[in-house]
Structure 1
Amino acid sequence: MDAPDPGIASEARLRSVMFPVFQLRPQASVTRMPIAGFAESTGASGTEELSVQFSYTLWRYPDDHSDPRNEVELDERTRRAIEEEPPWGRPAWLAEQARLFRYPMLWEAVRTAWHASPDHERHSLAQQLVDHTDHVLSNSFREQLGLPAGPATSDEWKARGTAVSGSAIIVDGEERTAVHIDTDPFVYAVGFRVDAHVVCTAVLPRDSLPYLDLSLTTWGRP
């Protein structure tokens, strides 16, 4: 019951990041999950790569979060895990986190990635958009893709670099040059280069798009 809220540490780490981090524009149809994801790679000279991922709860009927039409269909085992209080209890932050599993999640939807020494090919905007797309597909759409448990034995499901084409996106109220993948049946992906070291990409389920404004804003900006 006295386990510390990891959201507090997550927000503190966000404030310490040395590059701008981007998020979906605040809007009624989404709530950012309270714990951001971080991926870091270090070498002899220190941090070589760092990325920040934001996940969101999607509200199809944002005027009333208690509207049952906002909920996803759950199997009985998952529903019991959410509703049944364990004998040892659970802190309020964990109970709230469990409650959010009733609703659609935009898992790791927005990623901001920094590379100390970007590789021209491996860290190109197009390649990072493909990598983020594959990451979301392999973790959120395994059943739809017919992927087995464990490592996938085929890469036919993966996004292709040839699918990346020019686009635009609104960032902090201004239009920015971008690239997107608009050919995958399950997700839509878009990204833009922030500077020589930083790229932001967003990968979203296609069925969530009617509810979303795909504009981005800098996290922490007033």
Structure 2
Amino acid sequence: MRFEGVLPEDAPDPRIGHARRLELMPIPIIGLVPQPSLEDVDMVGFQYGQDTRGYSEMSASISYTLWRNPADRSDPVNLAELDGQGRQMVEGIPPWPRPRWLVEQAERLRYPQLWEAVRTTWRRDASELSVGRVLSDHLNHVLINRYRREWPGRKAWTGHAAEVTVRVDEVDVRGLAIDTDPLVYAVGASLGDNGVVTAVLPRNALGYLRIEFETRRQRL
């Protein structure tokens, strides 16, 4: 959903529309298991592809807020390091009323965000669904969009992933991990039913996280 100009105070929360689109996913959406340091705030991105036969691929990507000290959210250790643009978005309060959901989104920018951290990917043609390819696509997407300062001159990641065990819905399955990038750690596994789950997580957040997955319940 795109808005132009000044949003009226009663502008609808775009997450409601996102939730309706997520119902199109042919397979359940997967996220990280609930844990104190993570907050799922219903920031779920949705992408799809179509052809003459209908939907050919879909993906849903979950973003999280990271709490380094979840027992005391007022602890300054929880704050993100904001650049000039980030501070302007947080502190630049306009002189007109804003929708509550927009105020909440701006306030959350004060804290570290794990942007599109977990992605569920479905493809109609199973032959086009490789865990390694989906994992490297997700990793490069996060690097290009969230690490622009560190990215100049770097090539897209095209190396090999290592086999690991991944826990999904309390079951251990075979998966792949990319543990060679200095900025992020990436891991993924097949879900069956033409689906793959992948996660791309900042290395500086790994000490606060338990990397296990489960089916995500719809929030809105």
TM-score (norm 2): 0.89
CA RMSD of aligned residues (A): 1.7
The 2-side partners of 1:157 and 1:90 are apart by 41
CA contact (8 A) 1:11 1:35 kept: no
Q: CA deviation at 1:4?
A: 0.4
The 2-side partners of 1:59 and 1:25 are apart by 15
2:37 corresponds to 1:29: yes
- For residue 137 of structure 2, the aligned residue among 131, 140, 151 is 131
The one-letter amino acid of 1:8's match is I
The 1-side partners of 2:41 and 2:159 are apart by 30
The 2-side partners of 1:194 and 1:84 are apart by 43
2:186 corresponds to 1:180: no
Q: Spell out the pairing of 1:1-222 with structure 2 (5 A cutoff).
A: 1-120=9-128, 123-145=129-151, 147=152, 156-162=154-160, 164-220=161-217
The C-alpha deviation readout for 1:65-122, integer Å capped at 9, x for no partner, is: 12111111223443233133323321111100001111111111100011111334xx
Q: CA deviation at 1:11?
A: 2.6
Which has the higher mean CA deviation after the structures are superposed, 75-84 or 169-178? 75-84
The C-alpha deviation readout for 1:119-175, integer Å capped at 9, x for no partner, is: 34xx31111111111111111112123x2xxxxxx5x4322232x110011111121
The 1-side partners of 2:111 and 2:66 are apart by 7
Q: CA deviation at 1:16?
A: 4.3
SS of corresponding position for 2:149: helix
2:3 alignment counterpart: none
Q: 1:81 to 1:142 in 2, by over 3 A?
A: closer
TM-score (norm 1): 0.88
The 1-side partners of 2:43 and 2:101 are apart by 11
CA contact (8 A) 1:190 1:201 kept: yes
Structure 2: tracts of 5 or more residues without a match:
1-8
SS of corresponding position for 1:78: helix
SS of corresponding position for 2:140: helix
The 2-side partners of 1:196 and 1:13 are apart by 19
Identity across matched positions, percent:
42
The 2-side partners of 1:21 and 1:81 are apart by 30
Q: Which runs of 4+ in 1 moved over 3 A?
A: none
2:6 alignment counterpart: none
Q: CA deviation at 1:17?
A: 2.5
CA contact (8 A) 2:43 2:64 kept: no
The 1-side partners of 2:50 and 2:24 are apart by 17
CA contact (8 A) 2:26 2:122 kept: no
Structure 1: tracts of 5 or more residues without a match:
148-153
Q: CA deviation at 1:22?
A: 0.3
The one-letter amino acid of 2:13's match is D
